[in-house]
Structure 1
């Protein structure tokens, strides 16, 4: 199902409004609901030794807030006036796992050929950067998931940092 540009713009405006509200509640010292755990990729088979089970919150309950599970949340529009978040929560955004970066003279870039090796100043065993919208939101260790590459998150930024990375205030 393809969305029109107008639908996308409306969703983006709604996400920005929700992000502003979340940042304001964080700034006011309100307790923020816990973020859901990062789920393993779909390619992971049950019982695989590389799969990490999802974490549970205190008391064994799911760390996903009820408002997120239901896809509805009350906003500043008025008490009891829910916003349907299901469309927003289903928006796929690109994430980047970055090994390293460096600058090179243009002449060296033009001289690259098949088999050329570019050396980076980062140790081979150091953590990789996790980026959303080209902004660093965390880091992790490279892992093998079946025949695919994965990232075991070792550090993730605050909710405020992640909202800002997605284009919030």
Structure 2
């Protein structure tokens, strides 16, 4: 539990530093603004009534901060889900893990995940797995045939 809390704290600091670099602010200013946003303060409220807490971040910086914060949090959530999914499949190599951890955009992350993404099972796939493909092929070849005459071994 303690390690998970430290990881969350380190992740929050990393996100704050990334945003600070992007909007030209200090990490402490960003962390203060993130705290206010997480408490439910709106972007217009913060520069008007909490300017001293954020060290004078303006509306534009706060709006950019809010957009990037949402994006980076979604990216981290998706990264965790991708790592868990590939890990459950037993296909997570150290190189792939490092590539996933280094992905800085959602599209790059999804590109890495694509070969490992579980395929959806269609009705046709379910029917094939049940052994119904010969029946379907026979009926497509000659629609006048009686389906009852086919001896299909249904697999369970």
Taking structure 2 as the reference length, the TM-score comes to: 0.23
Which structure is larger by alpha-carbon Rg, 1 or 2?
Answer: 2
Q: Which has the higher contact order (CA 8 A, sep 6+)?
A: 1
Higher helix share: 2
Higher strand share: 1
Taking structure 1 as the reference length, the TM-score comes to: 0.21
